[in-house]
Chain A
Amino acid sequence: MKRLLGVALGILTAIGGFVDIGDLVTNAVVGSRFGMSLAWVVLVGVVGICLFANMSGRVAAVSGRATFEVIRERLGPRAGLANLGASFLINVMTVTAEIGGIALALQLASGVSYMLWVPFALLAVWLVVWRVKFSIMENVTGLVGLSLVVFAVALFLLKPDWGALAGQAFALSVPAQEGAGVYWYYAIALFGAAMTPYEVFFFSSGAVEEGWKIKDLLQSRINVLLGFPLGGFLSIAIAGCAAVVLLPAGISVTSLSQVALPVAQAGGQLALAVLILGVVAATFGAALETTLSSGYTLAQFFGWSWGKFRRPAQAARFHVSMIVVLLAGVAVLATGVDPILVTEYSVVFSAIALPLTYLPILVVANDPQYMGKHVNGRAVNIAGVIYLFIILVASLAAIPLMIATGAGA
């Protein structure tokens, strides 16, 4: 019974933890401009993140080594440092976006400008990173984040023409009013949002934090294989709400308050309240994950002691670097830059940096010195290589498309 409960808890937190500000914004923007015609990208992204999260979890459980230690050992200091630089920059960008997301959600709840909420959000995130146990942190934000199911409920309440929505999703064509370049630019953004590399750093370091052993692998596999697809389903529901209400009304999403309009229309103030709760929890959880991920990557590259299972005094460099990252994120927000804009760029840059994270994982998962008899099977390797190819194409196409389309304008 207790074991079953553990499995259920794991799945629920995986669902709630899947969606972050990047998924929220990108899916709503895409839904309001392209309808359901990019839903397939979420599908492709979810399969990819399942594949690689599983692999990095297995590496961590079998070898006890987290992703970034392995990246440096395999790539050497030069390529490793370049990789660290790129991953760290994207992590800081994502931290900025998530803290902005918490503040924007609190503005939606209170009507008070988000700028005033930023310091509050910063303090709350830091306190949790500083004091709260890893498992509690994960479970609480994941479970509360589950209230984003309100998007799926809202979609049903809106009584859409399901046939037309499915038609958009399966047509696989560029809508008439938008250009092909913009379509593919947002396809890459959506892919980056679904496959964000920080999830992998976090997942593998989390496995070390929670002391996973080989026998825990089954549970982690169930969590990933059920939780992430259901999280992806939530992402599609966000796009669906925007496609049903905002697209026909000629509204294209530029702010978080617009994302809430369809939910309010479908379910009134109660749904709106649940939505805000969900957004705060999801962005808060993601802010914690990205802050920790930036600490993890630095500490693992330089061999510092790290982890929330240690007292802060026993992981001093790890904690100091996280404080610096949080302050840097808030400094960026203090310039008055639109957090939604930061989010949109962060998902595209994530897509650009994806090969840096995923290639070393694939290599190490095949190394018997680390993995013993738990090296990748043939099927996993074939899927891994196919995905690496997709990731590489997306990564190479991202910058030219960004310039050509003026970042999707």
Chain B
Amino acid sequence: MSKAKRVQPQEIHAAPYPAGKVLDAQLHLLDRQVLDVDGVPVTTVDDIELSGPEPNEKIPKGAPAPQITALLTGPVLGTRIFGGRPPSSRLIRIPWKSVAGVDTVVTLGVRADSLDASWVERWLRTHVIARIPGGSHEPE
């Protein structure tokens, strides 16, 4: 420990001044419930996608800080449990611009049905539930 190379003070830049609420991705985003604009559960935040350099790539000086581009869901959860990386084309994204708020749940500003993330729900609704009598009625 004591032999570690000391970082020269002039190499460290101050953290950017937070413009608003400070979020810890691990603590406040990952595994949180996502609700749509009507309060209907959509999914859970299984992973997040960042802009900017790939892992192990050299970061050029003065590059803009990475930003969250999308919340990810679906099979990507498996990679967080078992490791590995899915191809980018297989990711199911909820674009960060449709996120309206982050609290104990993440709220979106759009309806669930307009998102790719709800395709299983929509598929089961039309192919299974709608074919069973009573599926679209209120419980009595």
Interface centre among A77, A78, A80, A314 (most CB of B within 10 A): A77
Q: Using a CB-CB cutoff of 8 Å, which residues 91-129 of chain B contact chain A?
A: 104-105, 112, 120-122, 124-125, 128-129
Contact B130–A132 (Cβ < 8 Å):
no
User: Does chain A have a CB within 8 A of B77?
Assistant: yes
| CB contact between B104 and one of A63, A305, A312 (< 8 Å): that residue | A63
Contact B46–A316 (Cβ < 8 Å):
no
Which chain A residue shows the least CB distance to B127? A316
Contact A302–B130 (Cβ < 8 Å):
no
Q: Using a CB-CB cutoff of 8 Å, which residues 65-96 of chain B contact chain A?
A: 73, 77, 80-81
Q: How large is the interface on B (under 10, 10 to 19, 20 to 34, 35 or more residues)?
A: 20 to 34
Interface centre among A303, A304, A308, A309 (most CB of B within 10 A): A303
Contact B43–A304 (Cβ < 8 Å):
yes
User: Does chain B have a CB within 8 A of A81?
Assistant: yes
User: Does chain A have a CB within 8 A of B62?
Assistant: no
Minimum distance in angstroms from A291 CB to a CB of chain B: 14
Roughly how many angstroms separate A152 CA and B3 CA in the complex, as a whole number?
75
| CB contact between B31 and one of A77, A131, A134, A136 (< 8 Å): that residue | A77
| CB contact between A303 and one of B44, B136, B137 (< 8 Å): that residue | B44
User: Does chain A have a CB within 8 A of B50?
Assistant: no
**Which residues from chain B sit less than 8 Å from chain A, CB to CB?**
30-34, 40-44, 46, 73, 77, 80-81, 104-105, 112, 120-122, 124-125, 128-130, 132, 134-140
Show 19 residue pairs from A and B whose CB-CB distance is below 8 angstroms, ordered by the A residue: A69-B33, A80-B31, A130-B132, A130-B134, A131-B140, A299-B41, A301-B44, A303-B41, A303-B44, A303-B73, A304-B121, A305-B41, A308-B139, A312-B134, A313-B125, A316-B121, A317-B124, A319-B135, A369-B104
A-B residue pairs, 9 tightest by C-beta: A303-B44, A316-B124, A316-B125, A303-B43, A305-B41, A313-B136, A312-B135, A133-B139, A316-B129
